[in-house]
Amino acid sequence: MAGESTSGVEFIKQAVAGSNRFVTGIALLAALGGFLFGYDTGIIGQALPFIQKQFHASTFASSWIVASLLIGAIVGAALSGYLSEKISRKWTKCLSGCVYVIGALASAFAQDVTWLIAARFVLGLSVGTASFVAPEYIAEQTPPKIRGGTVTFNQLMVTLGILVAYIAGYGLSHLTDNWRWMLGIAAAPGALLAISMIFVPHSPRWLVKQGRKDEARKVLQRTRADDHDVDEEIDDIAEVTDKESNWGLRDLFGPRVRPLMVVGIALAVFQQFVGVNTVIYFATTILKYTGETTNSAVMLAVFVGVTNFVVTVIAMLLLDWVGRRALLINGTIVLTIALFLLGCYFYFPALSHGAPWVGLVALIVFIIGFALGLGPVFWLMISEIYPLQFRSQAMAVATICNWAANFIVSYFFLQETEAIGKGATFWIYGVLGIAALAFFWFKVPETKHRRLEEIEREIGGEELAEAVDSE
C-alpha cells in the first residue's frame, strides 16, 4: 500500500538493519536488470559516432540502430508479464541475463548495419523484460515498509548504468574497435545477472500463486523480521491473488479503472515526450553540435551522467519528505525551461558560436529537472496508484507505453533535427513539457503517506474505490 511504503533516509536505515540485509542483497542482484537497462541506454550514444564512421551509416540507418533496441524492449515488456507468471520472475530474470549476453556479443561482432540492428533488437528483448520484472521481483521480495525505496533504488541503478556507460564510452574511445568494446563488455554484467539469479529464492507471491505455500513460507522466514507473522502474509497474498484473477485486460480500460490508467499512461508517455532519451542517447551528438570534438564530447557527456546519478540520489532522499507531486511539478518546470534554452541555443547562431558552454549548461539543467521529478516519480507512482488486484497488468501497460513513446521520440529525433532544425525540435519538446505540467497539476495526486483508497477516490471517484473494495 502507498501509505506503507517508504523511500529515502528511512529506506536506507531499514535496508541495512539486520533482518533486511538478506533481502537488500537480493534486491541489489535483481537491480542488475536496471543497471543493464541504463548501460544500454547510455552506451549507444557514445558508440554511435564511431559506428556511423565505420559503416558510413546514414541518418536513417543510425535511427534504426538506436530504435531497434526499443522495438525489442516493447516486445520484451509485453512478453515479460506472461513469462514472469509462467516460468517465474526468477527464471525470467535469468533468461533475460542470458539473452542480454547473446545480444551484447552479437552487437560487438556485427559486420554490417543490418546485423547490428538485429543484435540490438535481441538486446531490447532482454532490456524490456528487465525493466518490468526487476521492479516486480524486488517489490515482491521486500517487506512493504521498504518497498517504495527499493523501487526507486531500481531507478538509481538505471542512472548508474548510464553513468558507467558514459565512463566506459570515454575510457574506451581511444581503442581500435572502440565501439565493439563498448557494446561487448556489457555481456559481463549480463552474465552476472544470469548466474546470480540461479541462487536467489523465488518470489513468495509467485510461489503462493502456484500453490507452493510451504516454499513461500520458507522464503518469507528469511526475508521478514523474526516477529513477523508469515502465515498471515501468506493468507493476504492468497486473498489478493484470488481477487486478481477476476480482473482481465478489458477491465483495465473499463469506465471504473480508466482514470487511473490515464494517469499511469500519461506519466509514461510524458516521461519520454520531454525528450529525455534524446539527451541521454544523443548527449555526445548534441555536444558535438556545440562545436566539441567527438572525444571531448564523450568526456563532457560523463558530467551529464554524474549529474543524473547524483540528483537521483537526492530525489530518493526527498521523495518522502517533500512528496512525489512537488518533485514532479518542480522538476518538470526546470526541465521545460532548459528545453526552451536549448531551443534558443541552437536557433540563434550567435549563441551557439559565441557561447558554446550554454549548450552544456542547458543539458545539465535539463537532466537535473528530469532526475528530480519525472525520472524516479514515474516508476514509483505506477507502483503506488494501482490497487493490488490489477497492479501487475496496469504496470505492464504503462511500461509498454513508456518504451513505445521512447521509440517514437528516439526514432524521429535525428530526422526531425534535419527536417525542422535543432532549435525547433527542442522547442517542440518544451511545448510538450508545458502540456505535461498542466496534466500533472490538474490530474496527478500526491501519493506520499496516503492510503491507497484515498488515492483511488481522488483519481477515480467513489465508484472506483467502492468497486475495488468490494472485489
Report the greatest alpha carbon distance in the chain.
70
**Phi/psi of residue 256, nearest 5 degrees:** -70, -45
Compute the distance between CA of residue 124 and CA of residue 152 in angstroms, rounded to an integer: 22
Give the residue, chosen from 280, 329, 365, 372, that forms a contact with ligand BGC under the rule CB under 6 A: 280
Determine the Cα–Cα distance for residues 339 and 350; give it in Å rounded to an integer. Answer: 18
Closest CB to ligand BGC among 113 and 405? 405
- Give the up-direction half-sphere exposure of residue 189: CA atoms within 13 A in the CB hemisphere: 25
Q: Which of 134, 158, 263, 452 binds ligand BGC (CB under 6 A)?
A: 158
Cβ-based neighbour number of residue 142 at 10 Å = 27
- Candidate ranges 157-165, 186-194, 252-260, 286-294; the one touching ligand BGC (CB under 6 A): 157-165
Query: Which region among 77-85, 155-163, 167-175, 194-202 touches ligand BGC (by CB under 6 A)?
Result: 155-163
Q: Which of residues 364-383 bind ligand BGC (CB under 6 A)?
A: 375, 379
389 binds ligand BGC (CB under 6 A): no
The CB-of-329 to ligand BGC minimum distance in angstroms stands at 17
Which residue from 275, 265, 277 is spatially nearest to 439, judged by alpha carbons?
265
Q: Is 284 in the site for ligand BGC (CB under 6 A)?
A: no
159 near ligand BGC, judged by CB under 6 A: yes
Look up residue 42 and give its three cell numbers.
Answer: 547510455
Angle at 277 between CA 114 and CA 73, to 5 degrees: 50
CB of 458 to ligand BGC, least distance (A): 24
Print the binding letters for residues 289-308 with ligand BGC: x by CB under 6 A, - otherwise.
-------------------x
Sites for ligand BGC among residues 17-56 (CB under 6 A): 41
Beta carbon nearer to ligand BGC, 156 or 297: 156
d(CA 372, CA 310): 10
Tell me the window of 26-34, 61-69, 272-280, 418-426 that interacts with ligand BGC (CB under 6 A). 272-280
Cα first-last separation, the chain = 17
Q: 35 vs 379, which CB is nearer to ligand BGC?
A: 379
CA distance 188 to 292: 31
| 178: contact with ligand BGC by CB under 6 A | no
- Which three cell numbers, joined as nine digits, stand for 252? 483495465
Contact status: 406 vs ligand BGC (CB under 6 A): yes
DSSP string, 13-31: HHHHSGGGHHHHHHHHHHT
Cell of 279: 539527451
Q: How far apart are CA 91 and CA 377, in angstroms?
A: 28
276 binds ligand BGC (CB under 6 A): yes
Stretch that binds ligand BGC, among 23-31, 153-161, 201-209, 230-238 (CB under 6 A): 153-161
Pick between residue 41 and residue 223 the one whose CB is nearest to ligand BGC.
41
Distance separating alpha carbons of residues 452 and 443, to the nearest angstrom: 16
Angle at 249 between CA 74 and CA 382, to 5 degrees: 60
Spatial distance between the Cα atoms of 156 and 146, rounded to a whole number of angstroms: 15
**Of 157 and 216, which has the nearer Cβ to ligand BGC?**
157
CB of 158 to ligand BGC, least distance (A): 5
Minimum CB distance to ligand BGC smaller for 162 or for 319:
162
Q: Work out which of 150, 277, 284, 417 binds ligand BGC, going by CB under 6 A.
A: 277
Q: Which residues sit at the interface with ligand BGC, rule CB under 6 A?
A: 41, 155, 158-159, 162, 271, 276-277, 280, 308, 375, 379, 402, 406
